Chain A
Amino acid sequence: MLPGAGKEAWQANVNGEAHEHLVDSNAILLDVLRDQAGTLGVKRGCDMGTCGCCAVLIDGEPKLSCLCLAKEAEGTDITTGEGLADGHHLHPIQQCFAEAGGSQCGFCTPGFLIVCSAFMEENPEPTRDEIKCAIEGNLCRCTGYQQIVDSVRAASDILTSGEPTENPTSAKSDPDPSLSNGGD
C-alpha cells in the first residue's frame, strides 16, 4: 500500500446490514470486507483475479473483490457467501453443494456459490456445458468440478420445480450406470 493514502468514510450494505468504515482511499474491497466488515467468508486466494475465490455480488452482479477498489462499491448492496442463506434456510445452491459434495476443502466454495447463484438467476435451467462455461473463472484445486456441476444441476431442479431430486449425485455422475440402477 502506498504511504500517505488518506482515510475516507466508506459505506455500503453488506449482507443486508448497513456498514460504515473508515478506509484508506486506495483500499481494495477484499481487504475492507475481510478486515473491517468482518465477512471472512470472502476468501483471499490469489489476490490477482485468477482463482475467483473472492467473488462477491455487487448489486446482484458477481465481481472479483480483489480487483475492485472499495470506492467503486460505495453505497452498493454487497452479498457475500454468508449472505446467500435466508436466515437458517440455506439457498438451494448451498444445500446442493453441501449434499452433493460440491465443496471438498471448501476454500473455493464461497466464490463458486456466488458465481453459480448469479448464473442461475439469469439461466434457471442450464445445461452441463453452460454450467462449465459459467464457472470457468473459478478454480477448485481439489478438482471437484464434476460434483460442482452436479450440484448446480440439482439446484436448478429445485429452483424450477420447487422439489429436490431424489438423489443429487449418483444417477448423473456415476461412471457406471449399472451400479446405481442395479436394483428393482
Chain B
Amino acid sequence: MSDKKRVEGYRQQSGKLHFPRPGSGGSLGTSKPRDEEAIAASKATEGHRHDELITGSTIGKPTGLVDSRWKVTGQAQYGDDIRLPGELIGRIVRSTRHYARILSIDASAAMELPGVVAIATGEDAPARFGVLPVTKDEHAMAV
C-alpha cells in the first residue's frame, strides 16, 4: 500500500478514507493474512461480503460464554452460594402496621433471644436522613 492512500488525522470526509479489503490482514504491512484461499475467493466477488465468509475467523460466528460450562453445571458461584466460616445472618424486621408512624423501637426483647448478636435501627445510622446523594429524601432505616 502506498503512503499516498493513507489519510492522516481522524476528521476525514466520508469516502476519502482507504479501507483495506476485508481479510487482507489489516492496513499494516507487517500483519499476515489469515486465509489465503478465502481471500482469493473474496477478490473474485464484488460488493460486501461478511467477514466470516472471507477470513474463516470467529467474527460473525456465535460463541459460547467463557463461563458457560460453570453455569450449566451449577458450579458458578453467586452471592448466595458463597459460604464463609463464622458468618452471621441478617434479617430485616418490618413494621406490622401500614402507614404507621414509628415513635420508638424497643429492641431489648429481641436482644435477649438466643443467637442474636446485634440489632441495628435507624438510630445507629450516622446520617439518618438523606443517605445517598441520589436519595436525599429517604431515611436509612426506621428511626
Tally of B interface residues using CB under 8 Å: 20
In angstroms, Cα B134 to Cα A24, docked, is 44
* CB of B65 within 8 Å of the partner chain: yes
Q: Is the CB of B53 within 8 A of A41?
A: no
Known: A103-B68, A106-B67, A179-B50. A41 touches B73 (CB 8 A): yes
* CB of B72 within 8 Å of the partner chain: yes
Known: A81-B73, A103-B72. A182 touches B78 (CB 8 A): no
Q: Is the CB of A90 within 8 A of B74?
A: no
In angstroms, Cα B64 to Cα A101, docked, is 6
Contact with B along A41-59 (1 / 0, CB 8 A): 1111000000000000000
Stretch from A5-13, A61-69, A91-99, A129-137 that touches the partner: A91-99
Count of chain A to chain B residue pairs whose CB atoms are closer than 8 Å in the complex? 72
* CB of B75 within 8 Å of the partner chain: yes
| Chain B: CB-nearest residue to A167 | B62
Q: Main SS of the interface on chain B?
A: loop
| Chain B: CB-nearest residue to A104 | B65
Q: Is the CB of B72 within 8 A of A80?
A: no
Within 8 A of B (CB), among A101-124: 101-104, 106-107, 109-110, 113
Minimum Cβ distance to chain B for residue A36 (Å)? 12
Residues of A within 8 A of B78 (CB): 43, 107
Q: Is the CB of A113 within 8 A of B72?
A: yes
In angstroms, Cα B68 to Cα A90, docked, is 12
In angstroms, Cα B72 to Cα A183, docked, is 33
Q: Is the CB of A100 within 8 A of B62?
A: yes
Contact with A along B41-66 (1 / 0, CB 8 A): 00000000110010000000010110
Q: Is the CB of B74 within 8 A of A82?
A: yes
Q: Is the CB of B73 within 8 A of A106?
A: no
* Leading 9 A-B pairs by shortest Cβ distance: A41-B74, A106-B71, A98-B68, A81-B74, A94-B72, A40-B81, A82-B74, A103-B71, A169-B62
